[in-house]
A and B are shown apart, each in its own frame.
Chain A
Amino acid sequence: DSGVTQTPKHLITATGQRVTLRCSPRSGDLSVYWYQQSLDQGLQFLIQYYNGEERAKGNILERFSAQQFPDLHSELNLSSLELGDSALYFCASSPRPWTGDHYGYTFGSGTRLTVV
């Protein structure tokens, strides 16, 4: 157990639907990151939050949004789902939002989303 909790582990939904993925960071970590992993694209950075504020944005589609709550858990909302959104979505956390120190990212076990 890495300390980063993601729910649900698996999700099957139909095209056009909306889903919410949840992440609780490791205790003491203030920064949360969302990544999408598909077979041919590797780990694609979506978005980063630190202590409730958005700090960096990657290739996140307009149909996707995220937020980090006061208790530091984060939610990733995916709407108008398409077949191509099927992927493994990882959440990771770290103590601080920068990587100028010796802390790596701790990843959760991921949510596998299948859009049918």
Chain B
Amino acid sequence: QQPVQSPQAVILREGEDAVINCSSSKALYSVHWYRQKHGEAPVFLMILLKGGEQKGHDKISASFNEKKQQSSLYLTASQLSYSGTYFCGTVNSGAGSYQLTFGKGTKLSVIP
């Protein structure tokens, strides 16, 4: 089941904050976040396991709400280098396999 990401696109000025949401219709075991710059491979940012833990990566952090089957990625004090498409990937609980299914992505553009 493909997770749903929102928003589809967002434009920020340097220094502004953004939140990207990822939701699933099925129970989640884990959530991955990746960033892909144009013409490049996706790059792993972080993984969150069920248990509601929040992780951080420089000024990028994420939370995982197991009950709501949602994860949110927080980008604070955005920099030009944050531009790219952000994908969440989900692994469903009890799926019997560990297939990582990606959302359609959120395109983030940071402008001066």
Contact = CB atoms under 8 A, between A and B. Distances in A.
Interface residues on A, range: 20 to 34
A107 B41 contact: yes
Interface in A89-116: 90, 97-100, 102-110
Interface of B, secondary structure class, is strand
Contact of A45 (B42, B46, B100, B105): B100
A104 B103 CA distance: 16
Contact of B101 (A41, A45, A90, A98): A45
Nearest to B40: A109
Interface residues on B, range: 20 to 34
A104 B104 contact: no
11 contacts: A43-B102, A55-B97, A56-B97, A56-B98, A56-B99, A90-B42, A98-B98, A99-B29, A99-B98, A103-B47, A104-B47
